Each structure stands twice: as structure tokens, then as C-alpha cells.
Structure 1
Amino acid sequence: MDKIYFNRMSFYGYHGVFEAEAQLGQRFFVDLEMSLDLSKAGESDDLNDTVNYADIFTHVQQIVEGERYKLVEALAARIADQLLAAFPIAEVKVRVTKPNPPINGHYDSVAIEMVRRRKG
């Protein structure tokens, strides 16, 4: 299976359990690994035989910036489910990184990674 990657897309969202997170918001990073057959696109050199990268980005952006989730787990699941529903991909791995969660301590970030496959 072939793969398309999106690395460290950056969005501003209002996700989190605490009210301050809902009011102030923060940056979120999204990485994608999408599995699909790209052999036809490789032969044809035609955009219609693959997925449009701009459409993928816009889809993820609308979810991260347009909806609110308390849990990063719910955000990652929504992204995965919507991408599988909207695009001809067989599997998607979604990683959502929250660089500044309200946790006392020293760390770079926290992240959730989910893998979802097309059913059927």
C-alpha cells in the first residue's frame, strides 16, 4: 500500500477540558499518514487519480478550527473518521499534538495517535 504524509500541519483551536482552554485556545499540530493505492496516479500523472492535498488540509483545518472538543482523543477520532468518509483512503494514522497542555512539569508536548481503517 502506498502512503501520503502530512507533517506538522498547524492550527489554532479551542480544545481542552478547562474553561480557560476554551476561551484562550492554543496551537495544535496534526500529522497524517494515509494509505491508498497510488499506482494509477503514478502512471497517469492526473490529479483525479489521487487525493487533492489542498482538500485534505482544508478538511482537517475545518475540524480543528471549526469544532470544539474537550479531549484530544475525540478530535483525532473525528479527523480520522471524516477523512475515511470523504476520501478514497484505506487507512489513516492521525497524530494530534498539544504543545502546551495545562500540566505542571517539564516536557515538549503531549500527543494522541490513532489508526483507523476503512470498514468493509
Structure 2
Amino acid sequence: MADPYTGDRIILKDLGFYGYHGVFAEEAKLGQRFFIDLELGTDLTAAAETDRLSAGISYADIYDVVKSSFEGQRMKLLEAVANNIVEALFQSFQGVSWIILRVRKPEAPIAMVRGEAAIELHRVRK
């Protein structure tokens, strides 16, 4: 089977948000920082050849969908947060054929000396 995550892509990294996602009551009350990295598989040929924004997907529009999805509903699990974002991106941008999305939680309430907790979803449009 061929790797579906090939070809052109739009990449946005280190999108920062403040949110209240998490299992613990303190997370719901105090909130914390989250960072999102994503790759969207889409054909960039028309945008590259015409140099017209209307021929591609606006990075600002992608950010707006991610922000709205992230802030829209409090979730306990990073997996659920990421899934909501992926579904919103597929719904908003018909030209996106696959998405790789990572949600990072640098202040997760676990005993880490350094680092972060994160999850990554790989999804292909159905």
C-alpha cells in the first residue's frame, strides 16, 4: 500500500493557545498553554503557478478553524481535542486529502524534569 502522506502540503507549527482541556479539576479551573503542529496534504500546483491566494488555501483561514475548534469545547483528552480539529479542517477545506496533527501540552501534570506530553493523529479524508 502506498504512503498516503506524500505530495504537497501546508505546514503550520507552534500554533499557541491557552485552554482548559484536561482530566484534572485544576486544569479546568486554571488552564494552561498548548501548542499545535499540523500538516495538510493538498495540491499546491494552482497556487504555485498562478501566484494567487484564491487558488490555494489561506493559512489565516486554517488558523481560524484550528482556533475555533480548540476553544469551542472543553475536552478531557488531547486525542479528543485533536480529533475535533481534524474533523473541522476536513469540513472546512475540501481540497485537503490528509492531515497530520500534533497537540503538545508542555505543562502536563506529570512528573517530567523536562519535555512535554503530546499526541499525534494521522488522518486521511474518507
Q: Give the equivalent residue in structure 1 for 2:36.
A: 30
Deviation at 1:94, TM superposition (A): 0.3
Q: Give the equivalent residue in structure 2 for 1:42.
A: 48
Pick the aligned partner of 1:63 from 64, 69, 74: 69
**Letter paired with 2:17:** F
1:13-66 deviations in Å (ceiling 9; x for gaps): 000001110010000000011111010111111111111111110111112223
Say yes or no: does 1:3 pair with 2:6: no
Q: Give the equivalent residue in structure 1 for 2:91.
A: 85
SS at match of 2:9: strand
Deviation at 1:107, TM superposition (A): 3.1
SS at match of 1:114: strand
Identity %: 46
User: What is the root-mean-square deviation in Å for CA atoms of aligned residues?
Assistant: 1.0
Return the alpha-carbon distance in structure 2 between the equivalents of residues 90 and 113 of structure 1.
17
The count of residues paired between Structure 1 and Structure 2 equals 119
**Letter paired with 1:72:** L
**Letter paired with 1:73:** E
Normalising to structure 2: TM-score of the pair? Answer: 0.90
**Letter paired with 1:71:** L
Unaligned runs of at least 5 residues, structure 1: none
Q: Give the equivalent residue in structure 2 for 1:16.
A: 22
Q: Give the equivalent residue in structure 2 for 1:98.
A: 105
**Letter paired with 2:125:** R
Unaligned runs of at least 5 residues, structure 2: 1-6
Return the alpha-carbon distance in structure 2 between the equivalents of residues 52 and 105 of structure 1.
37
1:81–1:116 contact (8 Å) kept in structure 2? no
